[in-house]
Amino acid sequence: MIFTVAIDGPAAAGKGTISRAVAERFGLAHLDTGLLYRAVGARVDEGMEPVAAARTLTAGDLSRGDLRTLAAGQAASKVAAIPEVRLALVDFQRRFARRKGGAVLDGRDIGTVICPEAEVKLFVTAAPEVRAHRRWLEVGGDAAKVLAEVRERDARDMNRTDAPLRPADDAIMIDTSTLSIDEAVERACAAVAHRL
């Protein structure tokens, strides 16, 4: 079976949780594409040139433990604005999306650029304040700074010229601002079940 679920949306909207749950429920492979950009950003912070860092990315780079920090998110969104970096990561993502057995990919441009032919496209979003609060619960620190970082990253991701963050025309919108995790997961699973 070739079956792709594309899940896009801004930072801390619940994409990761929903993607993992959908993958588990339907027995699909899962790729968190944000990790690719985070790993490139981390290599660039260490002095590598961005396009070389993207072209020579290995599985080991994706499993390093320092990719979940706010700083890694910012580094990721900076390198993600470079068209040649995005291009270097396209093939891997497309092959993953069309692998046998089906796949869930979450990111910013899966339904619009990587896999416009995905059988299911979801756009998961929430109010910036809600997303910042969730992120703050994970990382702690200064809440105002976390909100500022969320807004800064949203602006960079939505305003870049190459593959900006936006819903595909045929995406199903899920606003998780007032939903529990279970409710959000059930909506996503219902959309997938409908197309299977």
Count of beta carbons in the 10 Å neighbourhood of residue 25: 15
DSSP assignments along 33-101, one per residue:
THHHHHHHHHHHHTT--HHHHHHT--HHHHT-TTSSSHHHHHHHHHHTT-HHHHHHTHHHHHHHHT-TT
Q: Does 37 bind ligand C5P (CB under 6 A)?
A: yes
Q: Does 111 bind ligand C5P (CB under 6 A)?
A: no
Q: Which of 4, 33, 125, 176 binds ligand C5P (CB under 6 A)?
A: 33
User: According to CB under 6 A, which residues from 57 to 76 bind ligand C5P?
Assistant: 73, 76
Q: Does 11 bind ligand C5P (CB under 6 A)?
A: yes
User: According to CB under 6 A, which residues from 139 to 168 bind ligand C5P?
Assistant: 153, 157
User: According to CB under 6 A, which residues from 74 to 93 bind ligand C5P?
Assistant: 76-77, 80
Q: Measured in Å, how far apart are the chain's first and last C-alpha atoms?
A: 10
Count of beta carbons in the 10 Å neighbourhood of residue 22: 23
Task: Report d(CA 167, CA 108) in Å as an integer.
Answer: 9
Q: Does 108 bind ligand C5P (CB under 6 A)?
A: yes
Q: Does 30 bind ligand C5P (CB under 6 A)?
A: no
| In the complex, least distance from residue 122 CB atom to ligand C5P, rounded to whole angstroms | 14
Q: Which DSSP letter does residue 171 get?
A: P
**Where do contacts with ligand C5P occur on this chain (CB under 6 A)?**
11, 33-34, 37-38, 73, 76-77, 80, 107-110, 153, 157
